[in-house]
Structure 1
Amino acid sequence: MAVKSIQFKEHTLDISYEILNPDSSVDMIILHGWGSNKALMKKAFAPYMDAFRHIYIDLPGFGGSTCNLALKTSDYARIVELLMIHLNASKDIIVGHSFGGKVALLLEPSILVLLSSAGIYRTKSLKVRAKIALFKFLKLFGLSKFREFFVAADAKKLSEPMYQTFKNVVDEDFSKEFASFTGKALLCWGKDDTATPLSSAEMMHKLIKGSMLSVYDGDHFFFLNHAKDISQNIENTFLKTLEHK
């Protein structure tokens, strides 16, 4: 594991990363989801794909990486790009789980691998909308200290910069970005996923021209049990890109 200090918008962010198979010539960036870290992704994929240089990154605010300012998803993509410049890494293959899928998409790799990716907006339930309205009402009377009773589970106990970041990224609709992606795209999903449901995968599959969709047993973290098959799909997708060059 290593740490690189990145200068971004007059702030210093310490970004933790780890590289496996350092002598391999094909780069594969692997990005985790919201609230997770690189260790989870390494646990899944480290045993496979020896021909690729694995680069596991803790996104700012997670794992061993710091974050002292509010960010947007586009900021995350730029920070990853700055780290990639330091590592002399190419955008050959980028794998992204959940929130990391949106970051991966903005990086515009040759091969995009989305694991239960976020990015398709879903209308909030009446219950959630009511909680948001009540919290906004309480804020008018200086009662925002009760925030933790109203925010989503993913946002509880976050620092103020990370809470603002969460609000920036949670409801983004990347439909246009999916539709404009021109590289190869492999979508892998858990059929019982409730965080990013299979309907989101089907929408992305329609939006991304020529994309491939593989559905597996399991929930939002299905890839932990299917990493070997997913890895074979990634390798086959990479080989197909070589055939068309």
Structure 2
Amino acid sequence: MAQAGPLWLADWPAPPGVQAFTTTRYGAGGSQPPFDSFNLGNRTAADGDDPAQVQRNRDELQQLADLPSAAHWLRQVHSSDVVRFDAPPQAQGLDAELTADAAVTSVPGVVLAILTADCLPVVFAARDGSEVAAAHAGWGGLARGMLENTLAAMHTPAEALVAWIGPAAGPALYEVGVDVREAFLAHSSAAEQHFVATRPGHWKVDLPGLARQRLVAAGMRPAAIHGGDLCTMADPQRWFSHRRDRRSGRIATLVWMAP
């Protein structure tokens, strides 16, 4: 899909009124290298980005995307915790962010947002347009059931959902060690098909493939799961990547139902 600019639209059969996209790193914002330029992650402030500039970037995002309200940003800690939002945020800034790695809402106009720079961003929507969710899943969160917990927190049955997996570290470049492989095999031996041996004690891992496998096992229809083909590590012109650059900004994936 040919897209350009700071907003990469989710490529999925979303129901009418449901909107979702992932931001790119360029085309908006004012952050300086290595966070140039559309960094939306204020947790990177300790590494050198200016928190005030990040807030300006977020304000610009709200205007650029014509969001119906300010986004709910999370204090992400690679957990498997999910929160539900029933209204737009009442306060802005880091102190107002709830600690969780996924969010759900059934309220039109409430915008959910997650930050990534190699981890999986996954958005969900009820096929009848009544509910949406957004989840952040690195390999640890994915192994601990982040996506299954998100499905369990939704009122909509898994078989009545559609999902889109956004940009993440792809299977051609993402190499992991024994601990990662064992974490997934302990859950299901079927996970082995998503690991390809490289050198002793190391494998290339297909995180989107593992996500699909686990979502199907949790009740989603295979044909309802889209995306997973955009690699953050392979495209420095478009995406931030922590594994590639070490000091990196964050892209954001947002989803909401039109009011």
- With structure 2 as the length reference, what TM-score do the two structures score? 0.33
**Structure with the largest fraction of helix:** 1
- With structure 1 as the length reference, what TM-score do the two structures score? 0.34
**Structure with the largest fraction of strand:** 2
Q: Which has the larger radius of gyration?
A: 1
Higher-RCO chain (CA-CA 8 Å, sequence separation at least 6): 2
